[in-house]
Amino acid sequence: MQVMTDLFARIFGDGLSPVGLLVAGGLTMALIMALVMASCAIVFTWAERKVAGFIQSRYGPMRVGRWHGVLQPVADMVKILGKEDIVPRDADKPLFLLAPFVIFIGSLMAWAAIPFAPGFIAADLDLGLFYIFAVSSAATIGILMAGWASNNKWSLYGAARGAAQAVSYEIPLALACIPVVMITGSLNMNDIVVAQQGGIWRWHFLHDPFLFVAFLLYFVASIAEVNRGPFDLPETESELVAGYHTEYTGMRFAFFFLAEYANLFLVSCVATAVFLGGWQPLFGPVFLPGLVFVIKAVLLVLLQMWLRWTLPRLRVDQLMHVCWKVMVPLALVCVLGAGIWMLATGQAG
Amino acid sequence: MSETATGRGWAAQDVRRELHSELLEINMGPQHPATHGVLRLLVRTDGEIVHGVTAHIGYLHRCAEKIAEGCDWRQWMVYTDRFDYLAPINMNFGYAVAVERMLGVQVPERAEHIRVICAELQRIASHLIAIGTFGLDMGAWTPLLYCFREREEILNILERLSGGRMLYNYFDIGGLRFDAYDGFERDVLAFVNIMEQKIPEYDTLLSYNKIFIERTADVGVIDLATCLAYGCTGPVLRGAGVPFDCRKDDPYSIYDRFEFDIPYGEGEQGTVGDCWDRYMVRMREMYESCRIIRQAVDALPGGPVKAEDLKKLVKVPQGSLYTRTESSKGEIGFHIFADGGSKPFRTKVRSPSFSNLHVIEKVGPGMMLSDLVATVGSLDIVLGEIDR
């Protein structure tokens, strides 16, 4: 946001009061973040189809937009806008109508604390990491609302699974980040990235063995957190038809879709900032920081797509088993181990 | 719960009565992605645990057996195609063998060989779908596409052979409708060579995947006693550890001339008769089918493909006969009553999927919802054949 307010200050000079600068900067930043979110949904739906096609020895979309169907997502958006907005007769109408937006807003708010480049962060919060985990869990409420309000048994199953899964996997997700917070001594996303300055060996995931394990834990938990394969239990198309969004059509359905891909990118961005050095390049001085950040995050997204199209899905009890009996204890061991490592190497202040 | 806690003066037993619970009845199907057609499963669940399953069938009933009474003997062949639309050749084969046995007609050697090649190709195609959709039930998308890639080759061969891609109507009573095209053997051998290389690919992608094994081993165990009680045949029975196959144990056509093994479940990853065993039986049967095809192509003689002493309008002598053959799903039996006329008096089809499906009422209770989907997938049912 600093970048934006500086920009406006330069354009308008003294024409804008400090409050005006703040409002203008904030609004622009919010607009940019919303655009980032919308565009990542558009880009990733296309990318997912291409990745799936590549893995499954087929092409994926090839027609719309001449080159490899690049305009396919646009065509889909136009189509989905023209769809009828159906509300089931026995649905809980207010909840039903509101649910997609709750999910969407939960993920949109989390974008505020993602540091794309030095100074390019919508809200440079001291509790940035904490804030991200806090607001992104609001999506769980949206899932529950959607599943309950649909008045469909399959949707309810999807919602119950989704809520249980999201609540469970938030714990290893957050625990895996604690060692990083211990090292940097800050929850501020900017500080966390700045602490990783100086090439790949300074990145947190290579800091010590415990942090490497923590990174893997975070990655696995993040896949579960965004409800994607092999942990896509809330929307298991072969069991629950389409899970909590079975009854949704048109634009409301698109919002679920949008939120899914936005969340996918969000967890990858957090992983990039916390473990993979954020905007820091592999070596040398900082160079095109925004681009470096996005490339790292996109690579993580592609990795998640790769896993989704390769692996079968877990069963719901196995999912909980993995979370509570494997990942949570392992994450706690990582926290302890990282602390001991810090003491042993004299980093503890 | 004390009075102050609720604020409404409820006693504990009132609260309990207020929170009464009951089983959730939920319809899985007829429009559901995991029921492999228009099957409706009425499932009674308590959360994720299944307490009871009832299979409601009949959505695809087309009176095929009754129609037979109005067709002449050759005409009904086209309806057998529509039983198991994923393995029509195997259905044709069963009916052709049944009528030929009643007629006592000798099928030419060339026709017999081409029949066996087609039937085994079709078995591979059917098993590919079974494996692919089973993977899909587990949430693995990619194996399905790989399976369809190989199945496409089979369909191409059968299309060049018969003109159809789904329903072939290629077999005729007393032989085949027409001879194979030039280069048929070459195409078949080329496919078999590819297929034998692809099976290890499926194994690495799906069969021995840790998650897949976790999802299928020890799940939906159907033991021998259950199989016998419900009349299960085919991969379900073989998965339960019994190497029974009509091709070997009650040979028809020229199957007694070929060398092949009957794969059966050994409980390699869990219990004998679990979903993984049934899956693996199909996987290994594709190997065996490739072996049979190779031998049949090597031995393929020249000559006619139709029994010459058969008139256009067949008249089957009076009597009744039950004939069973091995389709990809199990034992397909045709019980035919003839009154000496040009039309069947009564036909009764014993379809393997019908018997296999109803096992879920026995094994379903107590498993989780996801396991129910896995078990139904591992039975490999085709509703066209169940409902007829």
pLDDT at A41: 78
* Distance between B180 CA and the closest CA of chain A, angstroms: 31
User: Could you state, in order of their start, the residue ranges of all structural domains in chain A?
Assistant: 76-344
Prediction pTM value: 0.85
pLDDT at B7: 46
* Distance between B26 CA and the closest CA of chain A, angstroms: 7
Note the pLDDT tens digit of each residue in B208-228. Answer: 888 889 888 888 888 888 888
CA neighbor of B287 nearest in space, from B217, B193, B206, B216: B193
DSSP B107: P
Does the CB of A314 have a partner CB in chain B at under 8 Å? Answer: yes
Torsion, Cα of B277, B282, B287, B289 (10° steps) = 140
Does the CB of A92 have a partner CB in chain B at under 8 Å? Answer: no
* Distance between B212 CA and the closest CA of chain A, angstroms: 6
Closest residue, chain A, to B143 (C-alpha): A56
Q: Inter-chain contact A55–B142, Cβ cutoff 8 Å?
A: yes
pLDDT at residue B2 greater than cutoff 60: no
pLDDT at A232: 80
By Cβ distance, the residue of B139, B206, B209 closest to A229 is B139
CA neighbor of B202 nearest in space, from B294, B284, B86: B284
Residue tagged 């139709």 (tokens): B306
Spatial neighbors of B282 by CB under 8 A, at least 6 apart, are B127, B130, B131, B235, B380
- Distance separating alpha carbons of residues B316 and B71, to the nearest angstrom: 13
CA neighbor of A276 nearest in space, from A261, A293, A264: A293
The mean-pLDDT minimum among A24-38, A41-55, B341-355 falls in A24-38
- Distance separating alpha carbons of residues B372 and B282, to the nearest angstrom: 19
A221-245 mean pLDDT: 78
Cα dist from A297 to A114, A179, A263, whole Å? 12, 21, 12
- Distance separating alpha carbons of residues A280 and A116, to the nearest angstrom: 10
- Distance separating alpha carbons of residues A335 and A348, to the nearest angstrom: 14
Does the CB of B23 have a partner CB in chain A at under 8 Å? Answer: no
Surface of B (135-194) touching A: CB under 8 A:
135-142, 145-146, 149
Q: How confident is the model at residue A10 (pLDDT cuts 50, 70, 90)?
A: confident
Q: How confident is the model at residue B6 (pLDDT cuts 50, 70, 90)?
A: very low
pLDDT at A231: 82
DSSP B251: -
CA B229 to chain centre: 19
- Distance separating alpha carbons of residues A169 and A322, to the nearest angstrom: 10
* Distance between A15 CA and the closest CA of chain B, angstroms: 59
Q: Inter-chain contact A316–B368, Cβ cutoff 8 Å?
A: yes
CA neighbor of B272 nearest in space, from B232, B219, B229, B234: B219
CATH topology of domain B26-387: Cytochrome-c3 Hydrogenase; chain B (1.10.645)
Closest residue, chain A, to B132 (C-alpha): A312
DSSP B222: -
The mean-pLDDT minimum among A108-117, A143-152, B211-220, B234-243 falls in A108-117
- Distance separating alpha carbons of residues B123 and B157, to the nearest angstrom: 14
Angle subtended at Cα A340 by Cα A336 and Cα A344, rounded to the nearest 5 degrees: 170
Q: What is the complex's ipTM, to 2 decimals?
A: 0.81
pLDDT at residue A259 greater than cutoff 80: yes
- Name the helix (H) or strand (E) containing A96: helix A93-110
pLDDT at A349: 53
Note the pLDDT tens digit of each residue in B65-124. Answer: 888 888 888 888 888 888 888 889 998 999 999 998 888 888 888 999 999 999 999 999
* Distance between A327 CA and the closest CA of chain B, angstroms: 16
Q: Inter-chain contact B369–A157, Cβ cutoff 8 Å?
A: yes
A9-28 mean pLDDT: 74
Q: What percent of chain A has pLDDT over 70?
A: 95
Does the CB of B54 have a partner CB in chain A at under 8 Å? Answer: no
What is the three-class DSSP state of A282? coil
Give every strand in the sheet of B49-56, ordered side by side.
B24-28, B40-46, B49-56
Choose from B39, B46, B138 for mutation: most chain A CBs within 10 A: B138
CA neighbor of B137 nearest in space, from A165, A315, A159, A224: A315
Amino acid identity, residue A59? Y
Spatial neighbors of B355 by CB under 8 A, at least 6 apart, are B230, B231, B232, B233, B330
User: HSE-up of A140 (CA within 13 Å, CB side)?
Assistant: 18
